[in-house]
Amino acid sequence: MNARTRIDSRRGRREQRKVERDTRRARLRVLLSRADRGVLTPEESALLRGDIEAEIAEGDTHRRSAGGQQAAAMRLHKRIEAAEQCLVETEAERDRYAAAAEALHPHAVEGRR
């Protein structure tokens, strides 16, 4: 399977979930309106419960995913900070060596005379 097929497949699944979610939410609005009027049948009540539980489960899944992504972002942020600190230390060490080499340079020139 090439990358293009995977992307299309992922996009297709995402679109399918969106359609299902939109359908479920539209049905929720109708059922809630009927519940407000007190005309909800037992079958509609069961459907309402199922749709609400599906929304809750989907929300929980997204929250877990977001939490994992946030933790990964924090780990990467710490790695970047460590890399930046390493760069600062390396540049300081380079500057010390450059200064030491510069200090030795006049002596090297005198030694050649």
Dist. CA 14–CA 76, nearest whole Å: 27
What residue ranges do the domains of the chain occupy? Answer: 3-112
Residue 5 has pLDDT above 80, yes or no: no
The model's pLDDT over 8-18, given as tens digits with 9 standing for 90+, comes to 687 888 888 88
Tokens of 50: 């199922």
The model's pLDDT over 83-109, given as tens digits with 9 standing for 90+, comes to 999 999 999 999 999 999 999 887 766
What's the confidence (pLDDT) of residue 110?
Answer: 65
Dist. CA 102–CA 108, nearest whole Å: 10
What's the confidence (pLDDT) of residue 91?
Answer: 98
